[in-house]
Structure 1
Amino acid sequence: MNEIALYVHIPFCIKKCFYCDFNSFRFDISLFHRYRSALMKEIELYSNKNYIIESIYIGGGTPSIFPAEDIEEIINALSSSGEVKDDIEFTIEVNPGTIDREKLERYRALGINRVSIGVQTLRREELTTLGRIHTSEEALCSIQLAKDAGFTNINVDLIYGIPGQTLESWKDTLKRVLDLDITHISIYGLMYEPGTPLYKSLIRGEVSPIPEDTEVEMFNITQDILRDYSFFWYELSNYAREDYECRHNITYWEGKDYLGIGSSSHSLIENTRYSNTPNIEAYIEILSKNKTPRVWIEKLTPLERARELIMLGLRMKRGVSLSNIFNRTGVDVKEIFAKNIEKLISLGLVNYDGDRLTLTEYGRLLGNEVFVEFC
């Protein structure tokens, strides 16, 4: 039986953040209940398949805006859909201001053993710039509530490079979060995604990106602070204490199979990619007819698969073994990309021992310039 990671998308938020370009919608309990019914049908479509579920990740959106009873119905459907590993990693995303201790304790009772909290920043003016609905006090309280509810595997999401952010304000946010003894942290540089309110503000000149040298300094000081708190980086944006790496996300970066449930979800099963419709009404309508909501299917060629495995694997600290890619795809990437690898070595962006390719510290800052060599 094949092991898979299972992702469930709940695309509802109280308010969409100004920087967010994810598939999400404003909170609507009636629409959610219709959507939940459709989710149940999609889960049923894939039940009793030849899968062993090794991780589950409920993301969004903001899954925690709904009562625990609604999440319980989804979890019950997932639990009966196939074989689940005894040591499963089970994550739910939550946002400050949408959880309390009772809800978190209910999550624990349902088998959820990892919580990911969207904090982003602890500075009021930066929260306002991002369009977040919570306060810094609520963010810190959410972390403590998760600990009080019995969670020992807690991730916090943070963003640096916010307009108006300074090196000191970033260090303050990072240290105050780390002082709460979490086990995992995801840190992202702010992106101005076309079509988002923040991007439009940038185009109108209402906000300005922080200077590039300041952003680089933020990145560098982040590495020092995290080492002081016994965190190590294992993927471009992710850091953990020992044995607390996110197993679900590692499935993606290692190019293993995963199944996405919900509108706009993606799957990779046996070298074939699938995408569900992003239109929530279409998703509900299609599943009301007991049909699959998949609207895009792509069978990857061996070379496409090899390219993807290189780019995904390079995101990780341990990098990627080119002989392993050959064993999985039959493609000799050492030969095909020999000149590209030589170029990246000369630029100081990668290390190469004849088989394993890894990013240098400099390469971590310029990851996209590395990845494009394998497109």
Structure 2
Amino acid sequence: MRGVYIHIPFCQQICHYCDFNKVFLKNQPVDQYIESIGKEFQLMKEAGHSFEQVETVFLGGGTPTALSVLQLDRLLTIVGQYIDVPSLREFTTEANPDDLSEAQLFILKEKGVNRLSIGVQSFNERLLKQIGRTHSVEDVERVITTARSIGFENISLDLMYGLPNQTVSEWQETLDRALALDLPHYSAYSLIVEPKTVFYNRMIKGKLPLPGVDTETEMFEMVIDRMNAANRQQYEISNFAIPGYPSFHNLIYWENSHYAGIGAGAHGYLGTKRYANVGPLKHYIDHLEEGILPLKEVHEVTAGESMEEEMFLGLRKIEGVSMEHFARKFGRPIQEVFGQSIEKLQQQGLLQMKEDRLCLTKKGVFQGNTVFEQFLLEE
């Protein structure tokens, strides 16, 4: 495995768009959950999974920084018992601007975390309240100043567009404020309304006034133009960085490589199997108390599915998919498997060939889902 994802499901506040496995922090068995993560590491090791070649660790959520300083310290100590943290290429934690304290930053730094991914979404106070965020614009600027003073250089901001009642000028202002911070990495995602969220319930009642497709496209064009002008290279559809500062952990996903998912509701991909852990905290903890891996489902990935994933994950990267790597990995030329789809997409101006690589055209970047569905093989 190349990466390890660790899920921390606790939140001080539930955002209106979030469909990840999460619970309110108050009155939850947080300490017991952290110890269960250690037990899952141990059981995975006993099952023959080696953590020796791990390149990246990612703490996601939920909100990892909802944990107290002592809880963070204990969690990171457990991680260090199974993974050689000093040798990692990247160790990221997600964080919210309003619950990331100086004391937490010190312990994160001390325990080897070297990258912060901060959920900002917007620099507009009205929109922040509307999407269920509790931080202020000042919180963002304060926490970045503090993080830099402690020695964190590799900081990323998550931004979101296509929000209810969001205007193009409001999105432009958010980009202005974000880029003024001069950070090495930015992610910009369009809002996707998922089932079992506050926004989904509002949408089915006709009470979620979203920008139209044309406005959302204009916002996407704007972020690409603004990031390019600021020398933040678009290396994946939604991600922009200066050279040397991509999200190496997320590249493992887009390169269709192997990673472990640890924690309640976490997903992993090891060997030929994709798996998901049970989501409810009690079920997760109970499994591990009994010495059983907390698996909810395991799917054996067929050769055909793996080739599909290689394409629609790899094509998210602006550099695209290496045809030589594809042939070496699957023992078949890419044209033999997907020749008709490739030709069709090239004729539509959505896909292009650059030396050894297949990649999206500029038009294809805006119609990614149309491209990806062409690489679903018939059973």
The more displaced of 129-138 and 324-333 is 324-333
Task: Spell out the pairing of 1:208-247 with structure 2 (5 A cutoff).
Answer: 208-247=209-248
SS in 2 for 1:53: coil
CA distance in 2, matches of 1:63, 1:296: 25
Residue pair 1:123, 1:173 contacting (<8 A) in 2 also = yes
Identity fraction in percent: 36
Amino acid at match of 1:177: A
Q: Secondary structure at the match of 1:273?
A: strand
Deviation by residue 1:206-253 (Cα, 9 ceiling, x = unmatched): 221112211111111111211221100101111101100111111111
CA contact (8 A) 2:69 2:103 kept: no
Gaps of 5+ in 2: none
Distance 2:354 2:171 in 1: 36
State the Cα distance separating 1:155 from its structure 2 match.
0.4
- Map of 1:346 onto structure 2: 347
CA distance in 2, matches of 1:213, 1:74: 45
What is the CA distance between 1:180 and its match in structure 2?
1.1
Q: Is the 8 A contact 2:44 2:293 kept in 1?
A: no
Distance 1:28 1:331, change over 3 A: farther
Contact 1:53 1:84 in 2 (8 A): no
- What is residue 144 of structure 2 aligned with on the other side? 143
- Aligned partner letter, 1:242: P
Note the 1:263-342 alignment, pairs <5 A: 263-342=264-343
Is residue 74 from structure 1 mapped to residue 75 from structure 2 by the alignment? yes
Q: Per-residue deviation at 1:28?
A: 2.8
CA distance in 2, matches of 1:41, 1:87: 22
Determine helix, strand or coil for the equivalent of 1:131.
Answer: coil
**Does the residue aligned with 2:42 lie in a helix, a strand or coil?**
helix
Alignment of 1:26-45 (within 5 A): 26-45=24-43
Deviations 1:245-268 (A, max 9, x none): 111111111111101110111111
Q: Which moved more, 1:235-244 or 1:350-359?
A: 350-359
Aligned length: 373
Give secondary structure in 1 for the equivalent of 2:55.
Answer: strand
CA distance in 2, matches of 1:99, 1:135: 13
Q: CA deviation at 1:63?
A: 0.7
Partner of 2:365: 364
| Equivalent residue runs for 1:84-99 within 5 Å | 84=85, 86-99=87-100
Residue 197 of structure 1 aligns with an amino acid whose one-letter code is: V
Please give the TM-score of this superposition, normalised by the length of structure 1.
0.95
Q: Secondary structure at the match of 2:54?
A: strand
1:8 aligns with 2:10: no
Say if 2:86 and 2:112, in contact at 8 Å, map to a contact too: no
The answer to whether the 8 A contact 1:303-1:331 is kept is no
Instruction: Using the TM superposition, give the Cα deviation of residue 310 of structure 1 relative to its aligned residue in structure 2, in angstroms.
Output: 0.9
Aligned counterpart, 2:66: 65
Q: Which stretch of structure 1 is more off in the superposition, 195-204 or 11-20?
A: 195-204
Question: Residues 144 and 203 of structure 1: is their aligned pair in 2 closer, same or farther, counting only changes over 3 Å?
Answer: same
Asked whether the 8 Å contact 1:344–1:350 carries over to 2, the reply is yes
Contact 2:188/2:223 (CA < 8 Å) preserved in 1?
no
- What SS is found at the alignment partner of 1:252? helix
For each residue in 1:260-288, what CA deviation from the matched residue of structure 2 results, as whole angstroms up to 9, or x when unmatched?
A: 11011111112221211112211111000
What's the CA shift for 1:369? 0.7
**Considering only aligned residues, what root-mean-square deviation do their CA atoms show, in Å?**
1.6
The CA distance in 1 between the partners of 2:143 and 2:374, in whole Å, is 42
Which shows bigger deviation, 304-313 or 79-88? 79-88
Residue 89 of structure 2: SS of its match in structure 1? Answer: strand
Cα displacement (A) at 1:370: 0.6
Residue 123 (structure 1) shift? 0.7
Cα gap change, 1:328 to 1:274, in 2 (>3 Å): same
